[in-house]
Structure 1
Amino acid sequence: MTQTADRLPTFFLNHGGGPWPWMDGPMRRAYDQLEGSLQAVIPSLGAMPKAILVVSAHWEEAVPHVSTNAAPPMLYDYYGFPEHTYRIRYPAPGSPELAGRVSQLLRAGGMDCCGDAKRGFDHGTFSMMQPIRPEADIPVVQLSVLTSFDAAEHIAMGRLLAPLREEGVLVLGSGLSYHNLRNFGVKGQAASHAFDRWLRHSLSGVDGDQRAIALERWMDGPAAMQAHPRPEHLLPLHVIAGAAGADPCSVQFHQDDFFGGLAVTSFRFG
């Protein structure tokens, strides 16, 4: 991919629950603040990205996998939602070119990578991308997290992908800074606020090396295991922070008291 003069920021974003952009009523209204923040992503860049790479919390593999389909299908990876939400489409094209570049960068850094031509957009991607770019005219490629759940490995993966930022590629991490479905809502309020405070403090006003050390030791943070019994929704943040390098982090991109007072934060780097 060709190089551009400007380096794009990276974002770790809350993708919300299920197919929320295609719903109505109280659940839909609970996402108003999130929707506004997602709608601001592209305008905040000052230029239209050539393509978007989404590190999805909803795709776990033993080695990094990247979606290669030029016309990705849909993956309705949720249950119990209205019938029409199993027919929705986010018709953005894929980009075999970007998928190949991702694979090239990872392999050059000693990390294996596999292409997946069948993988469709999961809701961690399409529910986030619908408010970000409803026109669906920017190519989107998905990248998996790793089943090892190794924090340092995810940071290293992000560092290898950093050149994409100077090639017109917007790198997004799709997850949630609190993800414990057994304690969602009021039951998770205390843990979510404790972990969110630690996360914001650990990422803001420190250099890239200090950030990486904190993220590698995220399990030592207050209420960390209550906030993330499984860390797949946090690990896209590690990839994004790795790709950010020494760029500063803004913790004000999106903060929300979510579903019964859960504290969740989205982050922009650079």
Structure 2
Amino acid sequence: MVRRQPTLFIPHGGGPCFDMDWDPPDTWARHRAFLEHLPASLPERPRALLVISAHWEASRFTVQRHPAPPLLFDYYGFPPHTYELTWPAPGSIALADRVAGLLNAAGLACGFDAARGFDHGVFVPLKVAFPAADIPCVQLSLRADLDPGAHLEAGQALLPLRDEGVLIIGSGNTYHNMRVMMRALRGEALGVHGLDFDAWLTETVTHPDAAERARRLSAWRHAPGAREAAPREEHLIPLFVAAGAAGTDHGTKCFEDHVLGAVESAFRFG
């Protein structure tokens, strides 16, 4: 019998952050430890991974249909060795077809991309969490309008996958104001940005009523500090797919870190 998988939203760090030297050296240590311990927190080994990354947008929902996806080194200005990383997880044509079928049946048009590889929102965190790269993995795009309701609906349509052994992972960042984070990289003492929005988001995600949770997420732009935390919302929207796939399962905050002058959080449903 397959045990239902939870659905997750994880912050994926900054670029190839887990494969670089930092000052101080432990800049990403807490984040790395969270990802390393993630598999042990699951009810059983997933049969497959479905990842919704902030780094792929398409005019309609689009699912990766590649049997052996390459890596997309879609970051710039990092050390040469970070463009030689490997994470050879197989794709899954069967899962891609299942995802598209569920979305299309829900009235959410979904197409295929047979050439696209894993972007860094996928391989950077999952290289830490699942280093053996032996679980089939498929990536699903965001829809380019970044409509909150549509992405919650997409998650709702994908909920049956959880009972089929598929771990659904939204990969983004709860705070993604690069202007602030670049100042922190330059050594400016900024304190911790994003705390008001993070408090609102935590209260929203952990709300016991799933309908109220969805209502609040749909109106996220009105939350305190929302546009400072997400000047453009592509790094937040993967959370909405994860929340939609939660069904009536309660949400919990499973990780919080303060890094590069900002707060970053992870959430789990189920």
The bucket for the TM-score relative to the shorter chain is over 0.9
Contact 2:4–2:43 (CA under 8 A) maintained in structure 1: no
1:214 corresponds to which residue?
216
2:78 to 78, 81, 84: 81
Letter in 2 for 1:151: P
Indicate the SS of the match to 1:101.
helix
What CA RMSD, in Å, does the superposition of the two structures yield over aligned residues? 1.5
* CA distance 1:114–1:31, change in 2 (3 Å): same
Q: TM-score, normalised by structure 2?
A: 0.94
The answer for unaligned runs of 5 or more in structure 1 is none
Letter in 1 for 2:243: A
1:138 to 135, 140, 143: 135
Deviation at 1:225, TM superposition (A): 0.8
1:266 corresponds to which residue?
266
Identity across the alignment (%): 45
Letter in 1 for 2:37: A
* CA distance 1:205–1:215, change in 2 (3 Å): closer
Distance in 2 (CA, whole Å) between partners of 1:174 and 1:26 is 25
Q: TM-score, normalised by structure 1?
A: 0.94
Contact 1:189–1:263 (CA under 8 A) maintained in structure 2: no
Letter in 1 for 2:91: G
Deviation at 1:46, TM superposition (A): 2.8
Deviation at 1:190, TM superposition (A): 5.9
Contact 1:191–1:223 (CA under 8 A) maintained in structure 2: no
Residue 255 in structure 1 maps to residue 256 in structure 2: yes
The answer for unaligned runs of 5 or more in structure 2 is none
2:88 corresponds to which residue?
91
Distance in 1 (CA, whole Å) between partners of 2:207 and 2:200 is 13
Residue 169 in structure 1 maps to residue 166 in structure 2: yes
CA offsets per residue over residues 209-235 of structure 1, 9 Å max, x none?
011001000000001011111100000
CA offsets per residue over residues 96-118 of structure 1, 9 Å max, x none?
11000000100111111111111
Runs of 4+ that moved beyond 6 A: none
Deviation at 1:22, TM superposition (A): 2.0
Q: How does 1:165-244 map to 2 (within 5 A)?
A: 165-184=162-181, 185=184, 191-244=193-246
Distance in 1 (CA, whole Å) between partners of 2:46 and 2:189 is 40
Alignment coverage as a number of residue pairs: 265
Contact 1:65–1:114 (CA under 8 A) maintained in structure 2: yes
1:37 corresponds to which residue?
34
Contact 2:3–2:44 (CA under 8 A) maintained in structure 1: no
* CA distance 1:8–1:141, change in 2 (3 Å): same
Distance in 2 (CA, whole Å) between partners of 1:27 and 1:92 is 31
Indicate the SS of the match to 2:267.
strand
Deviation at 1:88, TM superposition (A): 1.2
Distance in 2 (CA, whole Å) between partners of 1:188 and 1:11 is 29
Letter in 1 for 2:239: L
Deviation at 1:27, TM superposition (A): 6.7
